A and B are shown apart, each in its own frame.
Chain A
Amino acid sequence: MTLEIIIFIVLALVAAVSSVMMITRLNAVYSALFLVLNFFALGGIYLLLQAQFIAVAQVIVYAGAIMVLFLFVLMLLNTEKEESLLKRAKYLKIFAIVAAVIVFGEVAYVILTANVAQQFSSIQPHASNGTIQSIGHSLYTDYIIPFEAAGFLLLAATIGALLLAKKKFK
């Protein structure tokens, strides 16, 4: 048990438990806060994977910007609490949970038996891969057109969101 594995297990437990808590809380604000916790834990896992830029972006964009947007809308709409989760369409939901457990079991079985690690045993990962310098260099040279397209997409989304949420929509 090295320190790295212990840190991973703690972060993974936080991520897993908070994701389950997120879908089971009846109050939507608690769900949002558990999702923030989940995003923070994922940011830590990205750091373990030596993806520094993605870890920072995860905390700023997801845990910061997107979740503030969600919480803002939740507070704005002030929706009532949901009734008990299994009240309506009970058998459909139980079936969905059972099916999800089976699918997860299958995927886990495939991952554990496929011997994924062997495929990567010859490759020596280097720490400079996920730095802001390396990602930024790729973004502004090889991927400049997708980068500009992403900017355009954000502009379009901003205008679309403004139009949709406007008071009088004609």
Chain B
Amino acid sequence: MNVPIEYYLILSAFMFTVGVVGVVIRRNAIVVFMSIELMLNSANLTLVTFSSFMGNPIGQIFVFFVMTVAAAEAAVGLAIIIAIFRNKKTVNIDEINIFKW
């Protein structure tokens, strides 16, 4: 535990902001999805950091559940993207507007 806790937190904050920027500037739905995974991972890093520095394993158990939910989310989200691609022949989120009328 020689590394100060601030370093971990700043790395996590940086990755989260990069994920947010990725969601805003990218147009490919799959890359937007990957940016969301990046944000989930930065939240995981914060949880593990505090869990480890507090000497309390509950944060790591929470990370385990976050991973489960992320796996489920990726499976369902990619299935939705495949279903949309089958109808619209694109994954560009500028051209997907089936809820607009």
Kindly provide the distance from the CB of B26 to the nearest chain A CB, expressed in whole angstroms: 6
Interface size class of B (residues with CB under 8 A): 35 or more
A76 / chain B contacts, CB cutoff of 8 Å:
82
B54 / chain A contacts, CB cutoff of 8 Å:
120, 123, 125
Residue in chain A with minimal CB distance to B9: A111
Kindly provide the distance from the CB of A133 to the nearest chain B CB, expressed in whole angstroms: 11
Interface residue count on the A side (C-beta < 8 Å): 83
Give bound CA distance, A62 to B20, whole Å: 19
Residue in chain B with minimal CB distance to A143: B61
A129-B60 in contact given A22-B22, A23-B21 (Cβ < 8 Å): yes
A65 / chain B contacts, CB cutoff of 8 Å:
71
Give bound CA distance, A88 to B53, whole Å: 44
B63 / chain A contacts, CB cutoff of 8 Å:
51, 54
Which residue in B7, B24, B28, B65 is a CB contact (below 8 Å) of A93? B24
Which residue in B17, B19, B45, B74 is a CB contact (below 8 Å) of A70? B74
Which residue in B14, B26, B78, B91 is a CB contact (below 8 Å) of A161? B78
A160-B76 in contact given A22-B34, A45-B45, A54-B48 (Cβ < 8 Å): yes
B34 / chain A contacts, CB cutoff of 8 Å:
22, 31-32, 35, 70
Contact B25 A150 (CB under 8 A): no
Residue in chain B with minimal CB distance to A96: B24
Binding site for A on B (CB under 8 A): 1-11, 13-15, 17-22, 24-28, 30-31, 33-35, 37-38, 41, 44-45, 48-49, 51-58, 60-61, 63-65, 67-76, 78-83, 85, 90-92, 94
Binding site for B on A (CB under 8 A): 2, 4-5, 8, 12, 15-16, 19-20, 22-23, 28, 31-32, 35, 38-39, 42, 45-46, 48-51, 53-54, 57-58, 61-62, 65-66, 69-70, 73-74, 76-77, 79, 82, 85-86, 88, 92-93, 96-97, 100-101, 103-104, 107-108, 111-112, 116-117, 120, 123-126, 129-130, 134-135, 138-139, 143, 146, 150, 153-154, 156-158, 160-165, 169
